[in-house]
Each structure stands twice: as structure tokens, then as C-alpha cells.
């Protein structure tokens, strides 16, 4: 495993102190007992980033601990119990529900008891949304129910705060591996908040599946020789400049995507190439189609400019990258199937409302139907709170894009396109949406494409260029 001596000692001490600040903030938000007592030393080592500094993540964590987001995360954990990657992400983002034990069940028991038949746990995001809608209505109608929920959540957070106090005593002597195991969200946030963080520590967060480098297990240059036996192994923490991740999939429910791009080094130029295959729904007229495709090309050009700007910032932190340039090529192709995006006349990604047809059958409103084309039965269904606890009339009117579908008007929204396009390159969401995506915001200022803004951060371009898994000569997965 990566030893402490392999990381810059000052950076590691700074990280330890940041974790102390994280603990201090977490415990203060979770308990009436106040802040955690500091370790015997005011700081770990010589770093001046002390325990008494409020970490920039504070706003993020306060949102995560809200009642709605806590219930939402607990529901999702139950629904996707078969998906280890998703469960781990929930645990990392909502430690108060899962540390020191799986207390989320206590919170769900209160919800289940109150909602009865309205509690849905069929494993779909729409079941989750319906349950959250029913819960919110029940909270509005019953102060007693809300009081029970808040009391249970406070009890859960108090146990979490007590556990933090115990862990705080060992922070200044903890290894990097131990810190990551105990406080993964703090480490991830540290890397975002402090751009001067050591490159090797930052690399640990970028790796898709392995957090720490073991030279006995990795063949970083994919030459069939493990690094510990290789006379000239490749630096495992440098960007892999010759990888191709065509058709690779990252599992990131509720919203996931395929990645399909290649990166090659030619001289001092990194050439990033990706296809953008567009399917246009037959319901779109020729003029709207021409306008939509033109908008896509315009927005793609703006995104390429932003990627280059992000790369210029990123390479300034890595000496051996400073002489290099980034060239991005997006290949547009109109196809009939296997598309990157389908452009519809209308599309509402998260709309899944029910209605009762003339024959008395309960049905779902198709997501590609425009609001103006809804039948009277469909409009009545939208307004029926027994059928649809959550009012989504506004969503139907405005539509929503996703990582595979755009409506022809959204195709001209470069913020939307940039966000969805970067999903194609493996970048995850960075926003809160309690009924679908109750994860922590990573970006306090919300300026990131993956939040609600229009900028790419260094972590984004680094994530695209960072080392990927490759196969050695005998077919074993290696690299990080």
C-alpha cells in the first residue's frame, strides 16, 4: 500500500488537519453537545490548516443532513441493495445514516409505518419518487409525523457525532489509507477545496476502482511486467495518454452512461477524440432538425474551448505536462440507432406520471409527449394526487434532457448539452435532487458543468485523462 512517506509529509499533515476541521463541523451539525475536542496538538505537524477552521464543505454537508435528503438516501440504499458501488457511494455521502451502524433502517421504519400502502420499494427511481412525494404530503398533513421523523433523525445524528469524537483522537497518527477509509467524503472534498493538494494524494481520488497503489499488483505501462519487477515502470499517477475507453460503462445510478473516447499522445499534443452520434426523432420537422443539429455543433464548440481552458489550469499543477497541448475532436454523425443522443420534439426525462384512460385502465404518460398534446385524461392524471403524489406539471411544460435524450429546444441549451455530453466521458453528477439524486454537491459555488454551471474544473479534465484500467499480456485487469 502507499506509505505515508510516499506522500508529501506537509500535505499529509494538512490533510489530517482538514479532517479534524471536517470532524469538528460534522459533529457540530449533528449534536447539541457542540464541537469535538481537538487533539493534544493544535495541529498535526507543521501545517497551519488547523482543526478550528471551518472546512468549505460545511454548506454541502448541512444539505446532506436535511430530513428529506436523509430519507431519500435511505430509500435508495434499500432499493439498490444489490449494487455495491451505489451502496458505497451512499455510505460515503451520508455517513450519519451508516456509521457507526446501519441506522438508516430506523428512519425508514418510521416512514414505512406512516405511509402504509403508499410506501413503494420496487427498486425503480419512480417508486422512489412516489414514496418521497407521499412522505412530503404526509409531513404537510401531520405535525406529529414530522416530529417523529425529526426526533429519529436527531437520534441517528447524535450517535454519529459520538462516533466521530472517538475517531478524532487518532487523526494525527492515521495513515493516508486509514483516513480514506474513515473519512472518504472529507478526502474528496479536500482535493476540491485545496488545489495545492499533493499530486499523488489527488491521484488517489481520481482512480476509478483502486484508491491506493500497490506495485506488486499493477502493471502501469501494460507491458506484462508488474511494476515491482519492472526496471522502468510507468508513473502510475501520470495521465494515461494512450488509452481508449470505447464502450466502457460506468455504473452510476440513477443516472449512468457509456464512455466512448480515446486519448493518444502525438509529440507534445494530447489528442482526445470522441464520436457524437445523433438520432433525430421522426416527429421533428426539417427546419427544427436543422436548427437542433446546428445548436449541437455550436454548443460542442463552446465545450471544446472550455475543455482547453480547464486543461491549461490542470497542466500547471503537473510539471511534466506543462509543455503539452490538448486537441479535442468531436465527430458528428447522424444515425438511426446506437446513438449518443436522440433528439425528440419533446422529452421529459424524469416525468413518469399516471392517468386513467377512458376504459378505466391505469397507464403511464409517455415521456416523449408534448404538454400541449396531452389528452384530457392525461391532464386529469397530472392533477390527481392519489395517482401522482408529486406535482410535475411544470416539468411536463418545460421538458428535461438526460444523458441519452434531448428535446429540440434543449439542444440549444449549451449548459444542458455540456452536462450531458460530459456524462459520455465518465463524469458523474455533482448536484442535489432529493427525489432522484440526493448526493452531496461537490462544488460549493455550483459553477461546475456537472452541477448547474458552465465551467470545467481541473478535476474534470483530470478525470477524463487520468489512468484507466488496461489489460496486461495475460488478460488480467491492471493499471488504475
Q: Is the dihedral of CA 6, 11, 14, 18 positive or negative?
A: negative
User: Do 190 and 447 meet the contact criterion of CB atoms below 8 Å apart?
Assistant: no
- Residue 130 dihedral angles phi and psi, to the nearest 5°: -65, -40
Instruction: Let me know how long the chain is.
Output: 480
Look at residue 115 in the predicted model and tell me its pLDDT.
93
Mean pLDDT score across all residues of the chain: 77
Look at residue 394 in the predicted model and tell me its pLDDT.
84
pLDDT band at 477 (very low <50, low <70, confident <90, very high): very low
Render pLDDT for 179-218 as a digit per residue (tens, 0 to 9): 878 887 777 777 665 554 444 454 444 443 344 456 676 6
Render pLDDT for 385-401 as a digit per residue (tens, 0 to 9): 888 877 888 888 888 88
- pTM (2 decimals)? 0.73
Mapping DSSP to helix (H, G, I), strand (E, B) and coil, where does residue 67 land? helix
Domain edges within the chain: 4-199, 248-344+404-465, 354-398
Percent of the chain scored above 90 by pLDDT? 17
Nearest to 6 by CA among 214, 277, 281: 214
pLDDT at position 31 over 90: no
Task: Output the nine-digit C-alpha cell for 230.
Answer: 519492472
pLDDT band at 174 (very low <50, low <70, confident <90, very high): confident
pLDDT at position 127 over 90: no
Look at residue 155 in the predicted model and tell me its pLDDT.
93
pLDDT at position 299 over 60: yes
Tell me what the mean pLDDT of segment 328-342 comes to.
89
pLDDT at position 461 over 70: yes
pLDDT at position 32 over 60: yes
Look at residue 472 in the predicted model and tell me its pLDDT.
30
pLDDT at position 42 over 70: no
Render pLDDT for 221-262 as a digit per residue (tens, 0 to 9): 666 777 788 887 766 555 555 666 665 655 555 565 667 787
Look at residue 84 in the predicted model and tell me its pLDDT.
78
Query: Beta strand 341-344 with 405-407: parallel, antiparallel or unpaired?
Result: parallel
pLDDT band at 413 (very low <50, low <70, confident <90, very high): confident
pLDDT at position 172 over 90: no
pLDDT band at 8 (very low <50, low <70, confident <90, very high): very low
Nearest to 369 by CA among 394, 346, 402: 346
Q: What is the DSSP string of 146-177?
A: HHHHHHHHHHHHHHHHHHHHHHHTTGGG--HH
Look at residue 365 in the predicted model and tell me its pLDDT.
92
Render pLDDT for 420-439 as a digit per residue (tens, 0 to 9): 888 888 787 777 766 666 66
Nearest to 118 by CA among 137, 136, 131, 105: 131
pLDDT band at 464 (very low <50, low <70, confident <90, very high): confident
Look at residue 476 in the predicted model and tell me its pLDDT.
33
- More confidently predicted of 63 and 302: 302
pLDDT at position 149 over 90: yes
Render pLDDT for 111-123 as a digit per residue (tens, 0 to 9): 999 999 888 877 7
Amino acid at each position: 500500500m502507499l506509505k505515508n512517506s510516499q506522500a508529501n509529509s506537509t500535505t499529509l499533515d494538512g490533510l489530517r488537519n482538514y479532517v479534524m476541521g471536517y470532524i469538528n463541523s460534522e459533529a457540530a451539525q449533528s449534536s447539541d453537545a457542540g464541537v469535538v475536542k481537538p487533539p493534544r496538538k493544535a495541529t498535526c505537524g507543521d501545517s497551519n490548516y488547523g482543526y478550528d477552521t471551518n472546512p468549505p464543505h460545511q454548506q454541502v454537508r448541512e444539505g446532506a443532513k436535511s430530513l428529506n435528503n436523509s430519507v431519500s438516501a435511505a430509500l435508495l440504499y434499500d432499493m439498490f441493495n444489490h449494487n455495491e458501488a451505489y451502496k458505497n457511494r451512499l455510505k460515503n455521502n451520508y455517513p450519519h445514516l451508516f456509521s457507526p451502524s446501519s441506522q438508516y433502517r430506523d428512519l425508514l421504519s418510521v416512514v414505512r409505518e406512516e405511509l402504509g400502502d403508499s410506501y413503494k420499494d420496487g427498486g425503480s427511481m419512480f417508486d422512489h419518487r412516489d414514496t418521497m412525494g407521499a412522505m412530503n404530503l404526509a409531513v404537510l398533513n401531520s405535525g406529529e409525523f414530522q416530529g417523529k421523523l425529526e426526533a429519529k433523525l436527531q437520534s441517528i445524528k447524535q450517535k454519529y457525532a459520538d462516533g466521530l469524537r472517538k475517531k478524532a483522537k487518532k487523526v494525527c497518527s492515521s495513515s493516508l489509507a486509514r483516513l480514506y477509509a474513515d473519512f472518504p467524503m472529507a478526502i474528496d472534498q479536500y482535493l476540491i477545496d485545496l488545489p495545492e493538494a499533493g499530486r499523488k494524494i489527488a491521484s488517489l481520488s481520481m482512480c476509478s476502482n483502486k484508491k491506493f497503489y500497490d506495485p506488486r499488483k499493477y502493471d502501469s505501462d501494460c507491458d506484462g511486467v508488474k511494476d515491482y519487477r519492472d526496471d522502468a515502470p510507468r508513473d502510475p499517477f501520470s495521465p494515461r495518454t494512450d488509452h481508449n475507453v470505447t464502450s466502457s460503462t460506468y455504473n452510476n445510478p440513477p443516472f449512468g452512461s457509456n464512455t466512448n473516447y480515446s486519448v493518444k499522445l502525438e509529440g507534445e499534443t494530447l489528442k482526445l477524440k470522441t464520436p457524437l452520434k445523433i438520432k433525430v426523432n421522426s416527429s421533428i420537422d426539417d427546419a427544427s432538425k436543422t436548427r437542433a443539429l446546428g445548436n449541437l455543433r455550436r454548443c460542442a464548440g463552446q465545450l471544446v474551448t472550455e475543455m482547453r481552458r480547464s486543461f491549461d489550469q490542470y497542466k500547471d499543477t503537473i510539471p511534466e505536462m506543462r509543455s503539452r497541448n490538448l486537441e479535442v475532436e468531436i465527430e458528428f454523425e447522424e444515425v438511426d440507432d446506437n446513438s449518443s443522443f436522440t433528439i425528440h420534439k419533446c422529452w421529459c426525462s424524469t416525468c413518469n406520471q399516471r392517468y386513467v384512460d377512458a376504459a378505466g385502465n391505469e397507464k403511464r404518460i409517455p415521456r416523449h409527449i408534448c404538454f400541449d398534446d396531452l389528452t384530457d385524461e392525461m391532464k386529469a392524471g397530472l392533477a390527481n394526487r392519489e395517482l401522482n403524489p408529486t406535482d410535475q406539471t411544470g416539468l411536463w411544460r418545460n421538458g428535461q434532457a438526460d444523458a441519452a435524450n434531448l428535446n429540440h429546444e434543449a439542444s440549444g441549451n449549451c449548459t444542458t448539452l455540456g452536462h450531458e455530453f460530459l456524462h459520455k466521458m465518465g463524469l458523474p453528477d455533482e448536484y442535489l435532487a432529493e427525489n432522484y439524486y440526493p448526493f452531496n454537491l461537490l462544488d460549493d459555488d455550483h459553477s461546475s458543468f456537472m452541477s448547474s454551471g458552465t465551467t470545467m474544473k481541473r478535476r474534470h479534465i483530470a478525470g477524463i485523462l487520468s489512468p484507466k484500467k488496461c489489460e496486461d499480456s495475460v488478460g488480467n485487469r491492471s493499471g488504475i
